[in-house]
Chains A and B, each alone.
Chain A
Amino acid sequence: MSLSDRIEKLLMSVQKPVRYMGGEFNAVMKDADAVDVRYAFLFPDTYEVGMSHLGMKILYHAINARDDCWCERAFSPWVDMAELMRRDNIPLFSLESRTPVKEFDLLGITLQYEMSFTNILEALDLAGIPLRSAERTEGPFVIVGGPCAFNPEPLVPFVDLVALGDGEEETLQTIDVYQQWKVSGLPRSEYLKMAAKIPGIYVPSLYDVAYNDDGTVRSVTPKPGSGAPEVVMKAMVKDLDSAVYPEKLIVPYGEIVHNRIMLEIFRGCTRGCRFCQAGMIYRPVRERSIERLMALAEKLVSSTGYDEISLMSLSSGDYSCLPELAHRMVEKFAAKRVRIALPSQRIDNVLTDTLKETQKVKKTALTLAPEAGTQRLRDVINKGVTEADLMRSVTDAFDQGWSAVKLYFMLGLPTETDEDVLGIADLAEKVRKCYFSIPKERRAPGLRITVSASVFVPKNDTPFQWSPQLDYDTVVHRQQLLRQALSRLKGVDFKYHAPDISYIEAVFARGDRRLGEALERAWRLGCRFDGWSDQFKYDMWLQAFADEGLDPDFYATRERPLDEVFPWDHLDCGVTKQYFLREWAKAQRAECTHDCRKGCTGCGMKRYEGACV
């Protein structure tokens, strides 16, 4: 029986068989014998999550635009499917042609989230690929990229290449070099050395790590004669207008998390919020022109049939011509009944006019992220937003018929006190008052305020990379403090989670190469889908660290001295460690740094030719 038939047999008895089905509209089919390189792109989470991810769509399109290459998708099978695949000896397979992933030339894996790392080991094992890079003698080279690639150290025993920065061009270069290597007939290790010369590609096996007696890193240096650079600079696409962008998107059958057209209006962020890794590693800001966006939107609407377009970026309100863009989009697509959505709105420039435009088509909950409850703490994190900004935004929104507001905060930010946490409840109360300040006949009925508080995770490549994560007990205390304070407010919901997932996330975000042992141990104990609270097994994780003689507190809750060498110091995200240090010092003094659109703040991006204009 063919592999495809054997897969079909399983689909009768698993949850959501559409996850494994393939055959969607706009999925790319090619003749496997007519292409030179077969590329498997694995998203290490479920189909519904992975299919909602823009980066995968961009790279799928970029690779498939080449006639000599076929990119197919793979996702982590849910635990029920994985169990049946093991029972029936079915290897991890691609969705398009149902080919075993092991038979591909290259396996690209995106690292969106530390808590998907065990899924990567699970996928490699299901694929029948040896877990450790050093043990592989055949099969695909394993390439990881995405935000977590800026500290891939806990994962490096299991990967061959790490792609830093924008993937559009460097991914194609890894394919070019693969073709050269294949023709050359040289041993497997030579591909790694050849790839190490591609801008943005880091080959961890070519580096030695030395440790100090206290367990911190002393140095990470290229192996003599390897030819690998001492510091790997990230790859950067200078001009998004000329960069490749999909004109067709796969349209899934089942419902996925974000089932709509995603249109990236710009990349990067100039704000400089000190907790935000994305705001650092995606620098500098590069905008797509209105003309290009309008043309892409038109093609995507007609090729997908979607009735909603999301304007994507880290801070869409900062797009330099947002009112014009929003106006033109709404005008063009209203007749086709296509809605335009602006996600991740920042409270200081939700434009009243834009709100009016989007409202014409559809009204959703207003989402705002003040992040902290007091001005002092917002200054510490450099969230350049005042209470007056927030009140103006919500009052405008309530005045125009909104009645639902979501407010996002973090608990455990550096220097936070109980008073800062109670400030969150204070803000929620003031938002309520704004609603009731609108005359009853003008405002929409049914006020709903949702306050969500996540636990702050200090990330590498941010000014807070020196900061300890707040200890577990204090987090729980502050959650309860806030819960009690908010319970007195009518119409306010409070959402929060146990801090255990955030703790493990903090361990891996700033982890080193030795953590690979604990990662493998945790996977062997049965950890999977750790980002899913119903699957997360905290006890197993603690056992895994203990088994490997590693102290998770060393990584998560230890305050790091200013002169410490970090496990990721040899990977350059574009922003310098000196800039992060300056920002960390200013944070202690609750001093703000202005948006760099108002003048260069010296983050280091100017080292890239043509990066900042």
Chain B
Amino acid sequence: MRAMIRFGKQPRLRFISHLDLQRFFQRAVNRTGLPIAWSQGFNPHPVMSFGSALALGWTSEYEIIDIKLSAPMGRKRTEDAIRAALPEDLPVLEVRMVDDRHAAPMALVKMADYRVDLEGESAPAVLEQIPAFMARETVTAMKKTKSGEKEINARPMVIELTPDDTGFNARLMLTERESIKPDLLVALLAEMAGVEPPEARIHRLMLLGEDAEGRLRPLMEL
């Protein structure tokens, strides 16, 4: 049995790196008192996996950790135990018990919704570019990869982009092969406007995947 936990990352803790968060959860699961399943092998560790790494400096209300249990547990007891083991700035928002055969959260993620707030003089000019951006078929961008930089067409990876006075909401592709990060999107819009990128506060609203019929659904509901 596995516990799929959705938790938030509040502004105060936005500088915890993904690696540090993984280490943090190793200790956090130890203090839950839950029957945690451990990996086999030379260096055993609790069996757990994450939805998608959140970049340093971002906040979120849709982070997922999936923890394997060695014995069946009720949802409520699991939720209470996890909540007690986390600080208030990592709030537990939803817990779902799933079967061991349920796909790993990482494999399910297709897209993510973000809220992006812009600050600084160039913000209005950047927001003005959004209709033009959406009207184009191709927006060439340089994306950093492990082996250097490669040229991508960013436009099809941006599914929805809705501006308002202070920023925009975005639905962006998030798969291993196709993904674009909100800060790169801000940089592209700024380039189109011919301005310096404004400061962006990035908040993840949701992770989405596809159900058996190919419909987009929040990850926790798959």
Contact = CB atoms under 8 A, between A and B. Distances in A.
Interface stretch (B27-35, B70-78, B134-142, B184-192): B27-35
B27 A18 contact: no
Interface stretch (B10-18, B150-158, B214-222): B10-18
Given A21-B13, A21-B15, A307 B21 contact: no
Contacts of A301: 30
Interface residues of A, number: 24
Contacts of B85: 25, 305
Given A8-B11, A23-B89, A302 B31 contact: yes
Q: Chain B: interface residue count, which band?
A: 20 to 34
A255 B23 contact: yes
Contact of B12 (A23, A255, A337): A23
A215 B88 CA distance: 58
A255 B20 contact: yes
A183 interface: no
A277 B85 CA distance: 40
Contact of B15 (A11, A302, A336, A337): A11
A307 B30 contact: yes
B63 to A, nearest CB: 14
A400 interface: no
Among B15, B21, B28, which residue has the most Cβ atoms of chain A within 10 A? B15
Interface string B30-69: 1101000010000010000000000001000000000000
A118 B44 CA distance: 44
Contacts of A173: none
A251 interface: yes
Given A253-B13, A304-B31, A337 B20 contact: no
A306 interface: yes
A253 B89 contact: no
Interface string A1-35: 00000001001100001100111110100000000
Nearest to A8: B11
Nearest to A19: B15
Contacts of B11: 8
A307 B12 contact: no
B13 A337 contact: no
Given A8-B11, A11-B15, A12-B57, A25 B28 contact: yes
Nearest to B57: A12
A416 B57 CA distance: 55
Scoring B26, B31, B33, B85 by chain A CB atoms within 10 A of each residue's CB, the highest score goes to B31
B193 interface: no
B21 to A, nearest CB: 7
Nearest to A338: B30
Q: Which of A8, A25, A254 has the most CB of B within 10 A?
A: A25
Contacts of B29: 305
Contact of A305 (B17, B28, B38, B57): B28
Contacts of A12: 57
Contact of B31 (A8, A255, A303): A303
A307 B27 contact: yes
Contacts of B27: 251, 304-307
Given A253-B13, A253-B20, A253-B24, A25 B87 contact: yes
A254 B15 CA distance: 10
B156 to A, nearest CB: 30
B104 interface: no
Contact of A254 (B20, B30, B31, B57): B20
Contacts of B89: 23
A306 B30 contact: yes
B130 interface: no
B161 interface: no
Contacts of A27: 87
B205 interface: no
B86 interface: yes
Contacts of A305: 26-31, 85
Interface string A242-272: 0000000001011100000000000000000
B86 A25 contact: yes
- Which of A18, A253, A306 neighbours the largest number of chain B CB atoms within 10 Å of its CB? A253
Contacts of A255: 20, 23
Interface in A334-393: 336-337
Contacts of B88: 23
11 contacts: A8-B11, A18-B20, A21-B13, A21-B15, A23-B10, A25-B28, A25-B85, A253-B23, A304-B27, A305-B27, A307-B27
Give 4 nearest A-B pairs by CB, closest first: A305-B30, A305-B27, A305-B31, A17-B15
Given A23-B10, A303-B31, 16 more contacts: A18-B16, A21-B12, A22-B12, A24-B87, A25-B24, A25-B85, A25-B87, A27-B87, A253-B16, A254-B17, A254-B20, A255-B20, A255-B23, A301-B30, A302-B31, A305-B85
